[in-house]
Amino acid sequence: MSVLALEKLKRRFGDDIIETHSNLGDDTAYVKTERLLEIAQFLKDDPELLFDMPIDNTAVDWWQRSEPRFEIIWHFYSTMKHQRIRLKVRVPEDNPVCASLTPLWPGLDWHERETWDMYGIRFTGHPNLKRVLMYEEFVGYPLRKDYPITKRQPLIEERLVRDVPTQRNPPPDMLNRP
């Protein structure tokens, strides 16, 4: 039963489904970025599938490990057929753009805004694509692997506080010691 969605997708869209796998009851379909909207529409409307509930949208940064760099992931659930499916697309670093699924599932609005906020992936067709967790003054995308992990961008000038010396944060005279 759970493989039905993948079979139907493969029959209907053929080569536009790059890869599918089904592990421990989790069905995953890698699809072409250009056909994403049609495939999503099919998943939502097909009377045998009816994926009516968006669960999640997120991204993975495969920086220096795999090309194209970003993998965007959607999870859907069918409250009628009690099935789950996972859609994935890949977008390159120099043009991280893909279609927004918010017009189909309004519940994805903030999820896709968060993905934009954290990974800098532009969703075309999103009604209100702006940062949701970070502030507008923030420069860069903090969950990208090339963002320095402790780089902070304060909104107001911080008071001078003497840091407690630790091994990770040695006092200045310890740095000058030979």
Residues near other proteins (CB under 8 A) are: 134-135, 142, 147-156, 158-159, 161, 164
Which amino acid would we find at residue 160? Answer: L
Question: Measured from the CB of residue 65, what is the shortest distance to other proteins in angstroms?
Answer: 21
Write out the two tokens for 92.
């390159």
Question: Measured from the CB of residue 140, what is the shortest distance to other proteins in angstroms?
Answer: 9
Question: Measured from the CB of residue 112, what is the shortest distance to other proteins in angstroms?
Answer: 20
Closer Cβ to other proteins, 45 or 146, answer by number: 146
DSSP-assigned letter for residue 71: E
Helices (H), 83-137: 109-119
Question: Measured from the CB of residue 135, what is the shortest distance to other proteins in angstroms?
Answer: 5
Please count the residues of the chain.
178
Which amino acid would we find at residue 55? Answer: I
Contact between 28 and 34 (Cβ < 8 Å): no
Closer Cβ to other proteins, 164 or 175, answer by number: 164
Q: Identify the three-state secondary structure at position 15.
A: helix
